[in-house]
Amino acid sequence: MKFDNNRPIYLQIISEIHKDLASGRLVTGQKLPSVRQLAIDYKVNPNTIQRTFRELEGMGMTFTKRGMGTFITEDAEMIEEIKISVVEGYVNAYIESMKALNLSNEEIVEIVQKRLGGVA
């Protein structure tokens, strides 16, 4: 993936992991790939991944089993909260840009409904 070089890379990797949790690609208790593997996958310095892991563990999103690796938390409530915050993040960003175009709440809802109706 391509990173935005204007923002800390470790924060961008954390939001990637959040997205994977929201979509269910990562699930509770799942083992994360090794630092080395992730460094290669994301094409970033291993120290950046280490930093990411430290932050994730600090937030309680992951835990380390000695000699076994890093795992996603088993706290289902926490994962649910992350999912909600990821979805809200996108929704808020969408609403904000619609508001910037001077659309009313009703118009926004109408557009979304129409669009979804068209797709489904």
- Give me the residues that bind other proteins (CB under 8 A), please: 3, 5-11, 39-40, 43-48, 51
Question: How many angstroms from the chain centroid is the CA of residue 11?
Answer: 10
CB of 116 to other proteins, least distance (A): 36
| 51 within 8 A of 13, measured Cβ to Cβ | no
Q: How many CB atoms lie within 10 A of CB 9?
A: 17
Q: Which one, 5 or 102, has the nearer CB to other proteins?
A: 5
CB of 5 to other proteins, least distance (A): 3
CB of 7 to other proteins, least distance (A): 6
Element (H, E) at 64: strand 62-65
